[in-house]
Structure 1
Amino acid sequence: MDETLLQFIRHLRHHGLAISTAETLDAMRVVATIGYSDPSLLRDGLASCLAKTVEDHSHFEECFARFFQSQLGSKTDGHSSDAATNENPSSENQGDGAASGEGEGAGNGQGSGGSGSSQRDSATLNEVIRAAAEAELENIQYRTQRGVYRRKILNALNDEQTLNDIQKLLDAGDDEQAHLLEQARQHRLAMVKELIERQLLLNNDAAGKQLRDATLKDSSLSAMEHYHRERLPPLIRKLAKKMASRHRQRHKRARRGKLDLGKTLRRNMAYGGIPFHRFWKTTRKDKSEIFVLCDISGSVSAWSRVLLLFVEALSDVLPNTRSFVFCGQSIEVTDLFKQYPADEAMAIIQQRHGLGGSDYGLALNSFWNQIEDKLNRRSCVIILGDGRGNGGDTGIEALRSIYHRAKLVLWFNPESHYSWNTGDSEIRRYQSASHYVAECGSLRKLERLLDQLLSLLR
Structure 2
Amino acid sequence: MDNRIVEFIRGLRAAGVRISLAESMDAMRAVDTLGITQKEIFRSSLRTTLIKESDDFAAFEQLFPLYFGSGGPPLQSALEDMSPEDQEMLQMALSALSGRMQQLLDWLSSGEGPTKEELEQMARQAGVEWANNPQEGRWVTRRMLQQMGFAHLEEQMQQLYEKLQEMGMSQEAIEKLMGVVEANQEALAEQVAHQVGQQIAEQRANRPDDLHGSDLMHKPLQSLTEEDANQLRKEVQRLVTQMRSRAALRRKRGNKGKFDSKGTIRANQKNGGVPIELKFKKKKLKPSLVLICDVSTSMRAVAEFMLRLTYELQDQVARARSFAFNSDMHEISVTLSGTRAADAVTKVLYDIPPGYYATDLGNSLNTFCKKHLDSVDGRTTIVILGDGRNNFNSPRIDLMKDLQRRA
Measure, in 1, the Cα distance between the counterparts of 2:20 and 2:292.
40
Q: Secondary structure at the match of 2:297?
A: coil
Deviation at 1:199, TM superposition (A): 3.9
Aligned partners of 1:228 and 1:21: how far apart in 2? 28
Matches within 5 A, 1:291-440: 291-318=290-317, 320-356=319-355, 357-406=358-407
Deviation (angstroms), 1:379: 0.2
Query: What whole-Å deviation, never above 9, does each CA across 1:80-136 have from its counterpart, x for those lacking one?
Result: xxxxxxxxxxxxxxxxxxxxxx7xx855x5367669xxxxxxxxxxxx9xx97xx8x
* Residues in 2 aligned to 1:3 and 1:389: alpha-carbon distance in whole angstroms: 56
Alignment deviations for residues 3-29 of structure 1 (CA, whole Å, 9 cap, x no partner): 543443343344344556665554343
| Alpha-carbon separation, structure 1, partners of 2:314 and 2:403 | 23
Rounded Cα–Cα distance in structure 2 between residues aligned with 1:140 and 1:17? 30
CA apart distance, 1:310? 1.9
Structure 1 unaligned residues grouped into runs of 5+: 72-101, 116-127, 147-189, 257-277, 407-458
Answer whether contact 2:8 2:67 (CA < 8 A) is retained. yes
Give the distance between the partners of 2:40 and 2:351, measured in 1 at CA.
48
What is the identity, as a one-letter code, of the residue corresponding to 2:295? I
The Cα shift of 1:54 comes to 4.5
Deviation readout 1:333-359 (Å, 9 max, x if unpaired): 111123443333333333332244122
Q: Could you say which residue in structure 1 is the equivalent of 2:124?
A: 142
**1:51 aligns to 2:47 (yes or no):** no
1:269-308 paired onto structure 2 within 5 Å: 286-308=285-307
Summarize the Cα distance change of 1:192–1:391 in structure 2 as closer, same or farther, 3 Å threshold.
Answer: closer
Give unpaired runs (5+ residues) of structure 2.
Answer: 82-112, 129-185, 258-276
Distance, in Å, in 1 between the alignment partners of 2:393 and 2:369 is 18
Residue in 2 that maps onto 1:202: 198
Superposition pairs for residues 10-49 of structure 1, below 5 Å?
10-17=10-17, 19=19, 23-49=23-49
Note the alpha carbon deviations across 1:317-340, whole angstroms, 9 max, x for none.
346321111122211011112344
Cα separation, partners in 2 of 1:111 and 1:30, compared to 1, 3 Å: farther
For the residues of structure 1 that align with 2:282 and 2:39, how far apart are their CA atoms?
A: 44
Q: Distance in 1 between matches of 2:394 and 2:254?
A: 52
Q: Does the aligned pair in 2 maintain the 1:253–1:281 contact within 8 Å?
A: no
Shift of the alpha carbon at 1:39? Answer: 2.9
In 2, Cα distance between the equivalents of 1:54 and 1:375?
A: 39
Q: In 1, are the aligned partners of 2:321 and 2:333 still within 8 Å (CA)?
A: yes
Counterpart CA distance in 2 for 1:62 and 1:23 is: 20
The CA RMSD over aligned residues, in Å, is 4.8
Matched residue of 1:248: which SS?
Answer: helix
Which whole-Å CA distance do the structure 1 matches of 2:316 and 2:50 have between them?
26
Aligned residues: 297
Classify 1:254/1:339 alpha carbon distance in 2 versus 1 (closer, same or farther; 3 Å).
Answer: closer
Q: 1:239 to 1:282 in 2, by over 3 A?
A: farther
Please give the alpha-carbon distance, in whole angstroms, between the structure 1 residues aligned to 2:42 and 2:280: 40
CA 279–59 in structure 1, closer or farther in 2 if over 3 Å, else same: farther
Instruction: Look up the SS of the partner of 2:76 in the other structure.
Output: helix
1:252 shift after superposition: 2.5
Quick one: which amino acid aligns to residue 396 of structure 1? I
TM-fit CA distance, 1:220: 1.9
Deviations 1:14-62 (A, max 9, x none): 4344556665554343323322233332223223433355545553344
Residue by residue over 1:363-393, the C-alpha shift from the partner in whole angstroms, topping out at 9 and shown as x without a partner, is: 1111122332232211001111233333333
Which structure is richer in relative contact order (CA contacts within 8 A, separation 6 or more)?
Answer: 2
Correspondence for 2:149 = none
Is 1:221 aligned with 2:245? no
Q: Residues 110 and 6 from structure 1, CA distance in 2 versus in 1: closer, same or farther, beyond 3 angstroms?
A: farther
Q: Which has the larger radius of gyration?
A: 2
Contact 2:304 2:345 in 1 (8 A): yes
The farther-off stretch of 296-305 and 7-16 is: 7-16
Contact kept in structure 1, 2:287 and 2:318, CA below 8 Å: no
Q: Pick closer, same or farther for the CA change 1:380–1:25 going to 2, 3 Å.
A: closer
SS at match of 1:110: coil
Deviation at 1:200?
3.2
Task: Summarize the Cα distance change of 1:353–1:193 in structure 2 as closer, same or farther, 3 Å threshold.
Answer: closer
Residue type of the alignment partner of 2:360 = D
Give me the whole-angstrom Cα distance separating, in 2, the residues matched to 1:247 and 1:323.
21
Shift of 1:283: 9.6
Kindly indicate whether the alpha-carbon contact (under 8 Å) linking 1:294 and 1:326 is maintained by their aligned counterparts in 2. yes
Equivalent positions of 1:132-211 (< 5 A) are: 142=124, 144=126, 198-205=194-201, 207=203
**1:9 is paired with a residue of what secondary structure?**
helix
Aligned partners of 2:255 and 2:282 also within 8 Å? no
Alpha-carbon separation, structure 1, partners of 2:204 and 2:291: 34
SS at match of 1:315: helix
TM-superposed deviation, 1:287: 1.7
Provide the rounded CA distance (Å) in 1 between the counterparts of 2:280 and 2:36.
45
In structure 1, the partner of 2:240 is 240
